[in-house]
Structure 1
């Protein structure tokens, strides 16, 4: 957006008018997380998986065009999209969602009191042996064709679910797909010698100490 006389944007001006202090800071942090960090983290883990599975990376490269894709091209990249979705299954950018109970409830044998914090943990759901075959294996085919229809509705939650689902889910997938189409068509990835990736979950699921990759042109 164009900057106003005070250096701000219409969006920031609207936020300042309706929010202040800690609430405004929370919204800015969320914009940064959802608008850039989530996509960057997804691409980082996807690049790691491409490094560990070169045949998968080659299949993606064969599917992708030499020129940067347009938004209208994205539906044609079914395998690349499946790789990204499988990456988010194994390494969900937000591995834990917290919700506060508005009123008393009961979840199976547990009583939930008003104000209690309830956690939904995609990291566990996405690797649950009763929901996924070989849950720790990297298999993009889980997201091809009719395979997703056979899964329980709540087995895969990279963007959350329900009224609080990420409003930018479709945009985020498009953003990551465009970057993936450029990166994996042009470059090969390999883990740096002696480096072992280790997930580190704080607000987001980042690789501890960064992701050390060797990148070479195709």
Structure 2
């Protein structure tokens, strides 16, 4: 990778598939960005680039790469392979590009104590994945036909969606008068069956009918 290619990436600005970091400080936080990119659409993580896209470089870039590469290897489950490119700006400073694939092994997660935390990209931000997003990612890893029974719960759900256009898990649970775990299972099953679309959000996900997505 050349400096010109790095500048082209930087000029795009942060987004669904691009994240900038000045340096690899707090590697656990940066690993979350790596997980989010791998779980969502793949992309590039640039070390040595400011938030505004300025390619300022970082001193001792090899050390930055070593720290982050070690964190990726030790903190991300299942294992995730990434490509790493180093571009020198001058004798002292350089930029690193971590090229992250859309992983066939998703969802990847960060193991923190006894908690498994997964992340996805929402616009230019990496946010913690909801249980529903996690389950949809897991199911989509191995495509298969999903068979479901269209009963009274689904009837209530589809009627509400036709009227409002979108619905959250909490709204569906309250409307159908069913526990959240049952509402979650119903929504995930319909997403897996390609009937609904799940829209991950930073605060609360919502669902729409697939045919409305054009």
State the TM-score, normalized to the length of structure 2: 0.27
Structure with the bigger percentage of strand = 2
**Larger RCO (CA within 8 A; separation ≥ 6):** 1
Structure with the bigger percentage of helix = 1
